[in-house]
Amino acid sequence: MSAEERIKKEIIQNFGHAYRAFGLNKLMGHVVALLIFSPEPLSLDEISQNLERSKGPVSQIMKRLRDRNLIRRVWHPTSRKDFYEIQPEIFENAFRNNFELIKSNTRLAKQLKATVNKEKSDNFDTLKLRLLEMQKFYELTEKHFDNFLSEWSVEREKIYSKSK
Amino acid sequence: MSAEERIKKEIIQNFGHAYRAFGLNKLMGHVVALLIFSPEPLSLDEISQNLERSKGPVSQIMKRLRDRNLIRRVWHPTSRKDFYEIQPEIFENAFRNNFELIKSNTRLAKQLKATVNKEKSDNFDTLKLRLLEMQKFYELTEKHFDNFLSEWSVEREKIYSKSK
DNA sequence: GTAATCGTTTGAATTTTTTCAAACGTTAAA
DNA sequence: TTTAACGTTTGAAAAAATTCAAACGATTAC
């Protein structure tokens, strides 16, 4: 096996683990790594072949990746096949996906707090305070996420303008 | 079922889903919610009983939660049992756990970039740039995480000093 | 209009994760 | 020293997620 192939395999494996750690499907990570690695868009067949999976699950994974804005479809004028490539803003988009989870936690905390506050019972004192803390925590998180994203767009621009 | 119990059940379910979305065991979320809800520390038996699980899996989950600094053990002078309560800094600690994942991604990007840069081949141009982007992205993330955590400790102090 | 080439869907098979009950070991009481 | 009360470990059972091969439907080529 060539050095290239070794590195490629390693990256693919690593991405699989990383995706897994974040609660996503390992195969999603593999596909993302493969596409990051590839200078050209790849077809469904090429991807299945490369990762040694059948078309079925790969097709499903491609849908999930598209839903998350991590990849996108492109078309060759000469071919009837779909081709896929990485979304240029993949890291930012992955981050946004997690951001959505954070936001849903904020909403959850607020909603729970509202429900609990309606109750007369004193038993909820500990909980009320905790839910307030939770809400504040996630609100602060959201603020910093926003800051991060605007700073990142500047940073990213720098990387790619240099490389031209 | 009383209003209290209803709310409690709902919170427990919600936490289960949230934990799941982040790639953790649902039962971990349930235990955390139960302990957040509880004004008093709970024993292993009480937790198993409350969540209708046997001691075995709960014992294992408690270990995982302790490893992640989300709960802690306390002892009653009068009882031989272990009791558990939420770590006061649970949100911060959960955040730190994710932070560790981010850091491992930074390390991964750096390491991959180093490996790839050693290669003479031109085939890696796309990949090199991507890995640079990835490294920068995660470095910026780390910076903002740090900012967040220091700001949060101030914010949290405010919440709990007010409540006294 | 028919055949060929796609991507997607589906139900079954496999693999992995979760869960349990029982056995085990340890500590404290009797 | 024995017994009782714990928490943890373990191997098997149950549940859930992943994966596949085949069927399907839609679109393009002939």
| A 48-87 residues with CB < 8 A to B | 86
| B 128-147 residues with CB < 8 A to A | 129-130, 132-134, 136-137, 140-141, 144, 147
Instruction: Give the pairing of strands B71-75 and B82-86.
Output: antiparallel
> Dihedral angle at the C-alpha atoms of B64, A32, A160, B112, nearest 10 degrees?
60
Q: Check whether residue A17 has its CB closer than 7 Å to nucleic acid strand D.
A: no
Tell me the per-residue pLDDT of B40-67, one tens digit each, with 9 for 90 and over: 999 999 999 999 999 999 999 999 999 9
pLDDT at residue A1, rounded to an integer? 63
* Nucleotide closest to A58 measured between CA and C1': D19
pLDDT at residue B121, rounded to an integer? 64
pLDDT band of residue A11 (cuts 50, 70, 90) is confident
Most distant CA pair in chain A, distance? 71
Q: How far apart are CA B94 and CA B4, in angstroms?
A: 26
Q: How far apart are CA A46 and CA B109, in angstroms?
A: 25
**A2-11, A87-96, A131-140, B124-133: lowest mean pLDDT where?**
A2-11
CB burial of A122-158 (b: ≥16 within 10 Å; e: otherwise) equals: eebeebeebbbbbbbbbebbeebbeebeeebeeebee
Q: How far apart are CA A118 and CA A139, in angstroms?
A: 22
Share of chain A above pLDDT 70, in %: 93
The predicted model gives B91-108 an average pLDDT of 86
Instruction: Kindly report the nearest CA distance between residue B21 and chain A, in angstroms.
Output: 6
- Other Cβ atoms closer than 10 A to B54: 8
Tell me the per-residue pLDDT of A25-39, one tens digit each, with 9 for 90 and over: 999 999 999 999 888
A112 Cβ partners below 8 Å, 6+ apart? A131, B7, B10, B11, B14
Kindly report which amino acid residue has its CA closest to the C1' atom of nucleotide D6. B81
A13 at the B interface (CB within 8 A)?
no
Q: Which of A12, A25, A36 to mutate to test the interface with B (most CBs of B within 10 A)?
A: A36
pLDDT at residue A102, rounded to an integer? 80
* A87 vs A116: which has the higher pLDDT: A87
Domains of chain B by range and CATH?
3-86 (1.10.10.10), 90-162 (1.10.287)
pLDDT at residue A122, rounded to an integer? 63
The predicted model gives B90-97 an average pLDDT of 91
Please judge whether A108 and B10 are an interchain contact, meaning their C-beta atoms are less than 8 angstroms apart. no
Q: Look up residue A69 and give its DSSP letter.
A: T
- State the alpha helices, DSSP H only, in A39-163: 44-51, 55-67, 90-118, 125-162
Interatomic CA–C1' length for residue A54 and nucleotide D23, angstroms: 15
Q: Would the pLDDT of A60 be above 80?
A: yes
List protein-proximal bases of chain C (any atom < 7 A from a CB). Answer: 5-11, 17-22, 28-29
**B6-15, B64-73, B118-127: lowest mean pLDDT where?**
B118-127
Please judge whether A156 and B134 are an interchain contact, meaning their C-beta atoms are less than 8 angstroms apart. no
The predicted model gives B123-149 an average pLDDT of 86
Cα distances (Å, whole numbers) of residue B53 to A13, A21, B61, B146, B159: 35, 25, 11, 38, 35
**A39-53, A116-130, B132-146: lowest mean pLDDT where?**
A116-130
pLDDT band of residue B164 (cuts 50, 70, 90) is low
**Locate tokens 């558990």: which residue?**
B84
